[in-house]
Amino acid sequence: PMGSERMEMGKRQMAATQETPGAAQAQHSTGNRGSNACCFCWCCCCSCSCLTVRNQEEERARRTSQELQAEGIPNCEESPAPTLEEVNAWAQSFDKLMLTPAGRNAFREFLRTEFSEENMLFWMACEELKQESNKSVIEEKARLIYEDYISILSPKEVSLDSRVREVINRNMLEPSQHTFDDAQLQIYTLMHRDSYPRFMNSAIYKDLLQSLSEKSIEA
């Protein structure tokens, strides 16, 4: 949806602006809650705004981080190094890129450079939720996903339209493995249309492809 793509572009521009020293100083002086360009996860560097203003939010962030770590969610997926054939296949379709852990890791690395890694993190969290069968675990994970990626108070909020947000709010009354299905599809489509074409033209992809091609020739 075009609305989500415009929101995504605005988020990237805002993050890029905040990366400059002047913007960072302005953020310190005003104590705004806006997304921080250095923050791709809940970590100590996310405490760089006014502690007085952000104390309550950061306490929730630390709690969420501890809960996620207790669940054993890795910083990146474990996967063998991709082959030249696999990397070439990523250029054939976004679906083929997202099918393999190596593809998702490479794409996630690119999203990090565009300050939109939360899209992949949200998609992965939804995939993990679908694997759960225990009702209490499903409810807890759904709550964490909502707080981390849906709440307007979160610096990792993903770009969703109002219709999908309404669906999520209804689903959260009785969370299930499929509470975020509509949102996951919208974010998948957004990554496909908005980020995937740039990834295919990025140095991250081209350097990986060139490196594997040179190794193949040497072999």
DSSP string spanning 117-162? HHHHHHHHHHHHHHT---HHHHHHHHHHHIIIII-TT-TT-----H
pLDDT, tens digit, 9 for 90 and up, residues 32-58: 444 444 443 444 444 444 444 445 545
Report the pLDDT value the prediction gives residue 216, as an integer from 0 to 100: 87
Answering whether pTM is above 0.85, one says: no
Which residue from 216, 178, 202, 218 is spatially nearest to 97, judged by alpha carbons? Answer: 202
Q: Across residues 54-64, what is the average pLDDT? A: 48
How large a percentage of the chain has pLDDT more than 90?
61
- Is the Cβ–Cβ distance between 142 and 179 less than 8 Å? yes
Report the pLDDT value the prediction gives residue 134, as an integer from 0 to 100: 97
pLDDT, tens digit, 9 for 90 and up, residues 92-142: 999 999 999 999 999 999 999 999 999 999 999 999 999 999 999 999 999
The CA-atom distances, in angstroms, between 2 and each of 52, 72, 131, 166, 190 are: 37, 35, 31, 18, 9
- The pLDDT mean for the chain works out to 80
Report the pLDDT value the prediction gives residue 7, as an integer from 0 to 100: 65
Q: Walk me through the domains of the chain, giving residue ranges and CATH numbers.
A: 84-218 (1.10.167.10)
Which residue from 205, 210, 214 is spatially nearest to 103, judged by alpha carbons? Answer: 205
Report the pLDDT value the prediction gives residue 28, as an integer from 0 to 100: 44
- Coil, helix or strand at residue 21: helix
pLDDT, tens digit, 9 for 90 and up, residues 131-164: 999 999 999 999 999 999 999 999 999 999 999 9
Q: Quick one: 193 exposed, middle or buried, by C-beta within 10 A (0-12, 13-18, 19+)?
A: middle
The answer to which of 11-20, 42-51, 58-67 has the lowest mean pLDDT is 42-51
